[in-house]
Homo-oligomer: A and B are copies of this chain.
Amino acid sequence: MDTRLKPRKTPVQGRSKATCDAVLEAAARILVEEGRSALTTNRIAERAGVSVGSLYQYFPGKEAIVAELIREMRRDMVVLLRRAVDAAATQAFRPAVGTLLAATLDHHTARPELARALEREEEDLPIDMETQVLKAELRGLIAGFLRERGVADAERCAFDLVAMCHGMASAAVRAGQDDTEGLKARLERAVLGYLGRPE
C-alpha cells in the first residue's frame, strides 16, 4: 500500500530529475495559489510544462506527489530542528527555546501557505511509514531537549507544544499575519508559560 505513495523512480540526474522536480514544484504552487480542488493531474502537468504521461512516469498517482511534498517538508524540518537542538545545547533555557522556535518558524517562514496546505493534506492521506518516522523524530528531538532540561513527562509536553505551535502558526498564516517576529515572541510566551518557566 505504501508504494502508492512513493515515487516510481527517483532519478538522480539529467532531464528526469528536472521533470520530477517540475512536477513537485507545480503541485506545490497549485496547492498554494489555486487551492486543493485545482490540484488535478492534468493541471499539475500543465503547470509543470510537462505531459501527463511524464508525470505518471515518476509518480504512481496524484497522492504520491503530495506525499512526496510532505516528506520533503518533514525532512527539511528534521534537518533544521536537529541543527537547532545542537545549537541550543549550550544555551540557557530561555534562549534555547527561542532557538528551537526560530527553527520551527524558519520553515513556516519560507513558504507559509505551502506548509499549511501540506499539513492539511497530510490529514487526508494514509500516513506512509517514512513520514511517520520523520514526525516521530521531530517530536523525539523536542522531547530529548526537554528531558535534558529536567522537564517532567517530556513526551507529552513535546506533543502538546508541537500542537500548540502548529495551531498558532496556522491561524496566523491563515489570518494573513506576516509579523514573524511578533509571532515568535508570542509563541515563546506560550511555550514557556506551558512549561511553567516564564521567568
Contact = CB atoms under 8 A, between A and B. Distances in A.
Interface of A: 35-37, 120, 123-124, 156, 159-160, 162-168, 170-172, 174-175, 186, 189-190, 192-196, 198
A160 B198 CA distance: 17
Given A163-B170, A166-B167, A167-B170, 19 more contacts: A36-B124, A37-B124, A123-B174, A156-B186, A159-B171, A159-B175, A160-B186, A162-B171, A163-B168, A163-B171, A163-B172, A164-B167, A165-B167, A167-B168, A189-B193, A190-B194, A192-B193, A194-B194, A196-B198
A45 to B, nearest CB: 15
A35 B125 CA distance: 11
Contact of A167 (B37, B167, B195): B167
A174 B159 CA distance: 12
Nearest to A167: B167
B193 A164 contact: no
Contact of A168 (B160, B171, B192, B196): B160
